[in-house]
A and B are shown apart, each in its own frame.
Chain A
């Protein structure tokens, strides 16, 4: 079927199988930040924003993107740059494979709740698995970023 959607705010139109996973469609369009980290819908690495809502692109059929807006990390670099350094400073990224999913979901968290508690950060990011770290670095990094913002250091 013909699928027309906004990819990172730019109109895209292409022929695709309706049940093709959105992740495959996005990667075929060069969006290589969107990665597959599991086969059972649990790792969060494939997170994209569909009409501003964070979803797992491995489970969304391409047909469901038709007429909608999809944002990937490629289109959100400026927003991500504000906080990724704080997470890197904590040494939270080891192999770094989980990072794009984390960043996408952190963007969604901070848009929905600009001043989350540590508990709220943990709860929102629970569906982003990282096999290297113990998750504490990511929480500390986001906390430091929020503190820096509050104290006018940004």
Chain B
């Protein structure tokens, strides 16, 4: 992708205003966008907005959209919150240099059906903060998107999960995942998120008392599409096994 003007706003309000203009894109790490064959007038860079921080606030953990995937996987705060699962989930994404570039905002904004990042944060019960629309649950954002808005933060609930597990399958190391699953237990709630690429991510909440039935029940609602990486049958098999492992890891059986 090419752009004519590189603009570095100093405030979120300014960046949001720019996002409303025609022929304008917001730049994340550009890892994805750089492969697009198009030229745009304006590219808005977020690096001067202080959106590169991971902070504990009264509300929970507030993570800026410009935080890199590498910052996420090495953050002591997030490692403690997820008992290391964030590292297990994000380390297989290409390589360290790639993850130094790719951002949280770009990864969530894309609503990619293969995203390890989206799977982790949706299962953890995150909200997204949009400059225009305000704070909305991530599940809602993934369903509807927010055209022309600007993602500024992701907020994790104050209460860390009682148990959290991420299981993914790749056909070869550093490749895109065929499927990524995450299971998060907080008290009686067990949330399961599945990214069954190329279909969009799917999330369902269960009661902890139903743990033995979760893997079977969620399969009734999950939609898969065959792709070059795996047949429909293989994806279904992987989903059942990986969700089953996740449920077991958070205390099922």
Contacts and interface: CB of A to CB of B under 8 A. Distances in A.
Contact of A18 (B3, B29, B95, B100): B3
9 contacts: A19-B2, A19-B43, A42-B174, A55-B101, A56-B101, A60-B101, A61-B6, A126-B174, A127-B96
A56 B91 contact: no
A123 B96 CA distance: 8
B228 interface: no
Nearest to A39: B35
Interface string B26-41: 0101110011000000
Interface string A14-45: 00011101000000000000000001111010
A63 interface: yes
Nearest to B8: A63
Contact of B173 (A18, A60, A126): A126
Contact of A47 (B94, B97, B174): B97
Contacts of A124: 96
A77 interface: no
A142 interface: no
A108 B45 CA distance: 26
B97 A19 contact: no
Contacts of B173: 126
A151 to B, nearest CB: 28
B1 interface: yes
A53 interface: yes
A55 B95 contact: no
A88 interface: no
A123 B100 contact: no
For the complex of A and B, list the 7 residue pairs with the smallest distance between their C-beta atoms, beginning with the closest: A127-B95, A18-B6, A63-B6, A19-B2, A54-B97, A19-B3, A56-B97
Q: Which interface class (under 10, 10 to 19, 20 to 34, 35 or more) fits B?
A: 20 to 34
Contacts of B2: 17, 19
A105 interface: yes
B3 A54 contact: no
B43 A108 contact: no
A17 B29 CA distance: 18
B25 to A, nearest CB: 11
Interface of A: 1, 17-19, 21, 39-42, 44, 47, 53-56, 58-61, 63-64, 105, 108-109, 123-129
A51 B125 CA distance: 34
A147 B3 CA distance: 48
Given A18-B43, A42-B174, A59 B96 contact: no
A42 B96 contact: no
Contacts of B5: 18
Nearest to B47: A64
A19 B91 CA distance: 28
B72 to A, nearest CB: 15
Contacts of A39: 35
Contacts of A54: 96-97, 100
A108 B100 CA distance: 12
B6 A41 contact: no
